[in-house]
Amino acid sequence: MKRYLLFLGILALIAFYSACSSSTDLAAASDDPDETSQTTSSSSKNSSSSSKKSSSGDSVLVVDSTEIKKDTVVDKVYISANSNIESPYYSSAVAFCWDEGCEANLPSSSSKAKSSSSSSGGGASIDTPSEEPPTIEGNTMTDNRDKKTYQLVSVGGKLWMAQDLNYAFGQSMCFNNEDANCEKYGRLYTFSNAQSACPKGWKLPSREEAQALINDDSYTWSYSGRCKGTSDCGFTGEMGFHWTSATPQDGDKNFEENKGDSYAVIIVEKEPGYAGDNDQKFFQVDEKGKHFSVRCVQE
């Protein structure tokens, strides 16, 4: 009887140690990502595929059979050794691809980075003007943003547009909202839009540059009028108004009345017959929200 009880005790002890050893092996396996992946793969033969997060944070698809769900987007694809897949699938390491050669149509990482960069910075970059500089041939400039051409002239050692800018941008408008007036006079811009309207390498004139233009009687102006809002327009054919980057100062017309951040400096040009005995060309301080013309000067 004693021998029988001793035999049972030995069997129980062996069983206890065997159970502890199995638990230890499982715990060790759970600490190894690769072992875990293999265990998951071998134990899921009844399912078509499984996805998980790798240690690097990438989304991973582990394929175990020929039946794979379409439109699955992952970063990496692994086909297990137990897979019965006979025909190849294609992966760009960005998206799962189902037809041979289709990787050519997938966006590259560089194009995705470019897209991300262009859409950042606090606003969408859709319709952002081209950064390609204009093409200059002799006394003609072609604005490569819209392929319109302008005559050029040299004044005070700087190259100037001899026609009003006609580039559709921001809140710019045609006089009286008639397209024919844009073709004849160019477009009218608010001060905010005028600062960004010139092509690359060109800008609004400084006070010194604008003064040289006022002093040159051979320079031709366009009496293209102005618009206070989107419909209150006037003076076309009689007066022209062009934005500058000058800071308002004493001596500019309306300087005392128009002080503050809502005002900027323009050049006023009166048609000689309309000016009469009054000044024909001068600086004036006016509202930034009005629509005036733009003549760009090369930087």
Q: Is 263 helix (H, G, I), strand (E, B) or coil?
A: strand
Q: Are 285 and 139 found together in one domain?
A: yes
Residue 132 CB: number of other CB atoms within 10 A? 11
Q: Are 288 and 177 found together in one domain?
A: yes
**Comparing C-alpha atoms, which of 133, 65, 121, 62 is closest to residue 96?**
62
Domain boundary among 100, 117, 151: 100
Q: Are 189 and 280 found together in one domain?
A: yes
pLDDT of the residue at 15: 61
Q: Mean pLDDT throughout 213-236?
A: 94
What is the β-pairing status of strands 239-243 and 263-270? antiparallel
Q: Mean pLDDT throughout 125-138?
A: 71
- How many domains would you assign to the chain? 2
**Comparing C-alpha atoms, which of 93, 85, 216, 86 is closest to residue 162?**
216
Residue 100's pLDDT band (boundaries 50, 70, 90)?
Answer: low
Q: Are 186 and 91 found together in one domain?
A: no
Q: What is the distance, to the nearest Å, from the Cα of residue 55 to the centroid of all Cα atoms in its chain?
A: 33
Helix, strand, coil % (nearest 5) of the chain?
30, 25, 45
Q: Are 196 and 84 found together in one domain?
A: no
- Supply φ then ψ for residue 37, to 5 degrees: -65, -40
Q: What is the distance, to the nearest Å, from the Cα of residue 120 to the centroid of all Cα atoms in its chain?
A: 7
Q: State if pTM tops 0.85.
A: no
Residue 111 CB: number of other CB atoms within 10 A? 10
Q: Mean pLDDT throughout 263-282?
A: 96
Task: Write out the residue range of the structural domain in which residue 217 sits.
Answer: 135-298
pLDDT of the residue at 245: 97
In the predicted structure, residue 200 carries a pLDDT above the cut 90:
yes
Helix or strand holding residue 181 (H, E): helix 179-185
Does residue 58 contact residue 76 with C-beta atoms inside 8 Å? yes
Q: Are 91 and 169 found together in one domain?
A: no
**Comparing C-alpha atoms, which of 268, 293, 294, 272 is closest to residue 281?**
268
Does 67 or 278 have the greater pLDDT score?
278
Long-range contacts of the stretch 275-280 (C-beta < 8 A, 24+) = none
Quick check: is 242 in a domain? yes
In the predicted structure, residue 150 carries a pLDDT above the cut 70:
yes
pLDDT of the residue at 94: 40
Give the sheet arrangement for strand 59-63, strand by strand.
49-53, 59-63, 76-79
Q: Are 148 and 75 found together in one domain?
A: no
pLDDT of the residue at 223: 96
Quick check: is 122 in a domain? no
Domain boundary among 100, 123, 146: 100
Q: Are 181 and 280 found together in one domain?
A: yes
Q: Is 90 helix (H, G, I), strand (E, B) or coil?
A: strand
Quick check: is 6 in a domain? no
Q: Mean pLDDT throughout 178-205?
A: 96
Distance CA 33, CA 56 (A): 11
In the predicted structure, residue 263 carries a pLDDT above the cut 90:
yes
C-alpha distance from residue 135 to each of 140, 145, 236, 256, 298 (Å): 8, 11, 30, 42, 12
Q: Are 156 and 62 found together in one domain?
A: no
Residue 186 CB: number of other CB atoms within 10 A? 25
Domain boundary among 80, 100, 120: 100
Q: Are 88 and 147 found together in one domain?
A: no
pLDDT of the residue at 54: 42
Q: Are 291 and 190 found together in one domain?
A: yes
